[in-house]
Amino acid sequence: MGRRRISNLSLPPRVYHSHGKYYYVTKDKKWLPLGADLPAARVEWAKLEGTDNTHYLNMDAAIDKYLNECLYRKAKKTQVGNRLEAETLRKVFGQMTPADIAPSDVYEFMLARGKQSEVRANRERSLLSSIMSMCCTWGYCRFNPVREVKPFAEFPRTRYVTDEEFAATRLLAPLLVQAMMDLALLTAQRSQDLLALRLDSIKDDGLHIVQLKGRNKRRIDLTILWTSPLRATVDALQNMPRPYKSLFLVTSKNGSQLSEYGWRTAWQRTINKAVAAGIERFHFHDIRAKTITELEKAGINAQDLSGHTSRDMINRVYNRLTSRKVNPLR
């Protein structure tokens, strides 16, 4: 009998990982390369063993296979979120095989995760459902147990950022975050659209923004006319010290385009300072809702600025008026 494995317990028998690749060790101690990709290595192992490999393919490998084969079809922002969600799923289901996961396992996961964040639990459930559906397609299991477990009910955000909260948070922020907060307040644009702004977006008639929204990337070309505050905010971003020239308006310290991950990190540092100072936590996206709310409160239709195709989304999600004045019946 061979020596009991003490590490990499999820690997099939006779398979070892060394120097970034997987190898099959024969009885006469020959190391046969299986490749660097674990799912593909399992398939090659099954061919050498002459057996079905589904029993040894656990969820850790299934998640890798899903990320390699399916993730590229999604939007970049969704890819970033899915990779983070995948790490949570690995901790819970990684050593289980797809066929062993029951609806009760998913239900217990949702209960435990929901105590921390029901929204995060829903997002992770959605990814798990997609992975399990692909496992059915790959032949690793016969049904998707996630479909038997309902997600938590979600409701539109109602958080309204007051002028005082905005100003106090802004004082705690570095110059780049201050400028991004001002730009979001003045334009009501999404962070991904602001990060994509190039220097050639600055025209004589105003700031030209290309809004890309939805799976089909519906494009809206928007020109926001100049005002003194908007011009000053754009100038502040342009005049920030950079070691190298950049084609983009919002950049990192080295002059390269600021990524969504980099921006998310910078924002979290700022909002954590604000929370420590006694300000209720809010999302950067809540600034967009604040601007839309203020426009609607002033009787201005915010639909052209926000880029929404219907009034329903503005009324249901973004207009966060807490009080209204109406005329009585005459």
The confidence score (pLDDT) of residue 309 equals 61
Give the residue extent of every domain in the chain: 15-49, 76-148, 163-318
Per-residue pLDDT of 34-58, as tens digits, reads 888 877 777 777 777 765 555 557 8
The confidence score (pLDDT) of residue 80 equals 86
- What pTM was estimated for this model as a whole? 0.65
The confidence score (pLDDT) of residue 103 equals 96
User: Residue 142 and residue 67: Cα distance in Å, rounded?
Assistant: 21
Q: What is the mean pLDDT of residues 288-308?
A: 79
For residue 178, give the 3-state DSSP assignment: helix
Read off the pLDDT band of 143 (50, 70, 90). Answer: very high
Q: What are phi and psi of 109, to 5 degrees?
A: -65, -45
Element (H, E) at 88: helix 76-93
How would you classify the pairing of strands 15-18 and 206-213?
unpaired
| Position 11 pLDDT exceeds 60 | yes
Q: Which homologous superfamily does the CATH classification assign to the domain defined by 163-318?
A: Intergrase catalytic core (1.10.443.10)
Read off the pLDDT band of 154 (50, 70, 90). Answer: confident
